[in-house]
Amino acid sequence: MLDQYAGYKSIKEAAARWRKQMEKAPAHLRSSHFLTDADFKKRLQDAISKIEGATIDIQGDSYIIKEE
């Protein structure tokens, strides 16, 4: 049986990696780039919507980016 969510990535893990990277950023960039999981999800959707031929499928706390 195939896992229906194979290939999906965790929004929580991706947002946590982003926050960890921002800890290394200069102080003036940190506060404006701290993202909650919900903020990360919204920004990810906005960014993907600008890429021609790319869509994002979000299932709960997981996502996959599809390119046509």
Q: What is the pLDDT of residues 6-55, one digit of tens each?
A: 778 888 888 888 888 877 877 776 655 567 888 888 888 998 899 899 99
Helix/strand/coil for 55? strand
Structure tokens at 5: 């969510």
Distance CA 55, CA 67 (A): 6
4 domain residue, yes or no:
no
Residues 6 and 59: beta-carbon distance below 8 Å = no
* Number of domains observed in the structure of the chain: 1
Domain coverage including residue 55 = 9-67
63 domain residue, yes or no:
yes
Structure tokens at 58: 């979000």
Q: Which residue(s) pair with 56 in the sheet? A: 65
This prediction has a pTM of 0.63
Q: Which of 9, 4, 16 is nearest to 58 (CA)?
A: 9
Under DSSP, the state recorded for 9 is E
Look at residue 2 and tell me whether its pLDDT is greater than 50. no
